Structure 1
């Protein structure tokens, strides 16, 4: 497919998403099924166009003076893919599959609009009603933090030190320009491509089948490291999901000790069985039901809550979620977070630690929940995270990414080059 056909396809997918309120993956999948002639390169380019358009939906709409799917797709080519108005119109001319677009002169006028005149939330590309929460989280730099969420995310791998090491994984991908992650000590990064370039399919590699690595964002790797699980300990991963952090713990603990993996939705645990086998993680014990945790109360050295949240820290990867979030979503997640905190803390032994993690940037889900938890549970106290951060972060000069009032750490694309993650640690008083 030429650029014109890819542009038209992106407009069709964006229209489908807008009119039928469908997630991006579903819209892209349906388009691919009905256009089987499109090759993998075409599908990747169309996916990039759609995701890029949604990452900067508001500012694109301001610059184009319209936010129809065609406006957003064309703005993406101009502003993010850096195709000049003259080049774009010349490329599409005579392409019978291309949509009609404004003249090069009109497009140049759009690009000349002063984005500084737009409202702050438009420049930040976030819903207007969330601007206050971002300002609470980041202070005067909140707009820059939000803008950092409009970039494409990299692909990060966590080296499985039970079976491999970082040098081996870097060598396995030597023809793909891998780099060691700056902060996570066992991470490997592939930077995001530009324009139609697609990211590598790391899970299709032989080294993945051998268990040498897992796909895991650097921020998630750091969150797991901050839990500080030690060989020989008993650890409970209370909201384990697919098991990414449990697998990281098994490597950190050198397969010595016990890890209990539980999730209220036991269907989410199913992929862990194969992941454990591939990784050689022998100390993970999957517990499918809450009743299966009976007898573990007050016995765990460490308990991790990777809490259900709005996922605002992952907007680079799921930009459509940015435009679907509602106040009710936040209220519901806050109730879920309080519930799992109250339930999981019962398993921490005296002197043991409780870790609370979200992939949200909103203080309502982060520092506010910490304050409320401490009021309900005076038997817990917060732990100092400065030295913990220094021991985990590979870059000793990296600033400690404190959250508001130093209640935990707040990672973000702008601060740490990672997805957005919040981490708070508590110790149960002896």
Structure 2
């Protein structure tokens, strides 16, 4: 708890990412074991996920108060039990007073303002209300829960049952929707997820760490063996790998990104997964020969990442309206650039890990206005074809002749993702 208070104060003072603050703390406190570091990380992330609601209940936004509130919430201890646990430990913070805890005991979160119950900055509230209507507070609050650890079996090297057997000590379960997905339940108490990347199965390329929502949107693109595909914002290659497996290592995927640093990890990942149908293009490469020739172009657009706040809760407190405006411009440019590569009858998939309409539905409308030779497909209807045994665990909106699809922690148990699928007339 003392270390968590220290880390949170560092984040608040220096406005730095939580990962950097935790790493620096670990480097300067090398005596701390892996269990200690995991417990500290859990507390810090719990605070960041529910910072506003904890501060409102305690009537105190200080790191010390927030840590006590988060620990009381997650540990199962009451005030007396926590005081007893801290008693006699010279490193422990002094127990918070009964007066300071009065609000924690008596204040009903249901009486708090909407943005407090949602645990988001005030300015985000109207954007989420536009996205989800009356359910926006509940949708946002679900982003404050601990996430599971999701993986995708790489069918080029193994099937899901084989991966499950290899990871049996960690009790992975089949994902609810994605047919090659496996899930390890969210962390309970001060536990931690296993480091599956050191497992032999991972080193052999049998599976990748990938949120189930990302697996779902990759499958809904309808990619098929033998196709010509351009992953226009490939980044580290998570969706590239999923597409390659679905294509059974046939056809050709061109993986491109405008940022060389984002693209760097893809080479090692392709090698480990034994993917042979991907050609990686550096930012300065000339792609003009591929214009108008692609069966599928995937635009996994740069975005605010609001759908990933379960895993990156510090990002929601750093996000600004100016950053949103910049992302909207970048997305519009990426869509316009990618459209030129789609052949007649081909598909253009627009994906974000955002839940904000300015990055999603508004971009669809703007694109259709600017590109009259494209039409929006009914991706919600595609769900039943791709996932015939899964319930329709998504939100959908009609746009002219087609629909868009949104996944959220509340509706699908995944990170937040948005998908629009266009076809070139």
1:310 aligns to what? 304
1:53 is aligned to 47
Rounded Cα–Cα distance in structure 2 between residues aligned with 1:144 and 1:61: 19
Give the 3-state SS of the residue equivalent to 2:348 in structure 1: strand
Name the structure 1 match of 2:412. 416
- Note if 1:368 corresponds to 2:362: yes
Give 2:423's match in structure 1, choosing from 421, 424, 427: 427
1:288 maps to which of 282, 285, 297: 282
1:3 alignment counterpart: none
Whether the 8 Å CA contact 1:86–1:104 is kept in 2: the answer is: no
- After the TM superposition, which segments of 4 or more aligned residues of structure 1 sit over 6 Å from their partners? none
Contact 2:403 2:420 in 1 (8 A): yes
The aligned residue for residue 120 of structure 2 is 126
2:80 aligned with 1:86: yes
1:102, CA displacement in angstroms? 2.2
How far is the alpha carbon of 1:348 from its aligned partner? 0.1
Structure 1 unpaired stretches of 5+: 1-6
Q: Distance in 1 between matches of 2:75 and 2:388?
A: 33
Match of 2:29 in 1: 35
Work out the CA distance in 1 between the residues paired with 2:201 and 2:84. Answer: 44
Q: Is the 8 A contact 1:55 1:151 kept in 2?
A: yes
Rounded Cα–Cα distance in structure 2 between residues aligned with 1:64 and 1:281: 52
> Normalization by structure 2: what TM-score?
0.97
1:296-331 Cα distance to aligned partner (Å, 9 max, x none)? 000000000000000000000010001011000100
CA-to-aligned-CA distance 1:364-415 (integer Å, 9 cap, x gap): 0000000001110001000011332112336432344214767410100001
State the distance in 1 between where 2:52 and 2:23 align: 25
| Structure 2 counterparts to residues 50-199 of structure 1, below 5 A | 50-104=44-98, 106-107=100-101, 109-199=103-193
CA contact (8 A) 2:380 2:403 kept: no
Deviation at 1:249, TM superposition (A): 0.8
Q: What's 1:279 paired with?
A: 273
- Rounded Cα–Cα distance in structure 1 between residues aligned with 2:7 and 2:393: 41
Q: Does the CA-based 8 Å contact 1:137-1:403 persist in structure 2?
A: no
Closer/same/farther in 2, CA of residues 290 and 230 from structure 1, 3 Å limit: farther
1:321-336 equivalences in 2 (<5 Å): 321-336=315-330
Match of 2:16 among 19, 22, 30: 22
Q: Which residue is 1:396 aligned to?
A: 390
| Number of equivalenced pairs | 423
C-alpha contact 1:222 1:393 (8 A) present in aligned 2: no
Q: 2:229 aligns to what?
A: 235
- Distance 1:74-1:300 versus aligned 2 partners, 3 A rule: same
Shift of residue 139, structure 1, vs aligned partner: 1.1
- CA distance, structure 2, for counterparts of residue 334 and residue 83 of structure 1: 45
8 Å contact kept, 2:297–2:349: yes
How far did residue 80 of structure 1 move? 2.9
SS of the counterpart of 2:56? helix
* Residues 184 and 218, structure 1, Cα contact 8 Å, conserved in 2: yes
Contact 1:89–1:103 (CA<8 Å) still a contact in 2?
A: no
Q: Secondary structure at the match of 1:426?
A: strand
Distance 2:43 2:390 in 1: 38
Corresponding residue for residue 298 of structure 1: 292
> How big is the shift at 1:106?
4.8
Aligned partners of 1:105, 1:129: CA distance in 2, in Å?
Answer: 32
**Alpha-carbon distance in 1 for matches of 2:81, 2:98:** 9
Q: Against the structure 1 CA distance between its residues 340 and 290, is the aligned structure 2 distance closer, same or farther, given a 3 Å change threshold?
A: farther
Within 1, Cα distance between the matches of 2:371 and 2:62?
50
**TM-score, length of structure 1 as denominator length:** 0.96
8 Å CA contact 2:394, 2:406 repeated in 1: no
Taking the aligned partners of 2:54 and 2:366, their CA distance within structure 1 comes to: 39
How far did residue 203 of structure 1 move? Answer: 0.7
Write the distance in 2 (CA, Å) between the matches of 1:385 and 1:153: 26
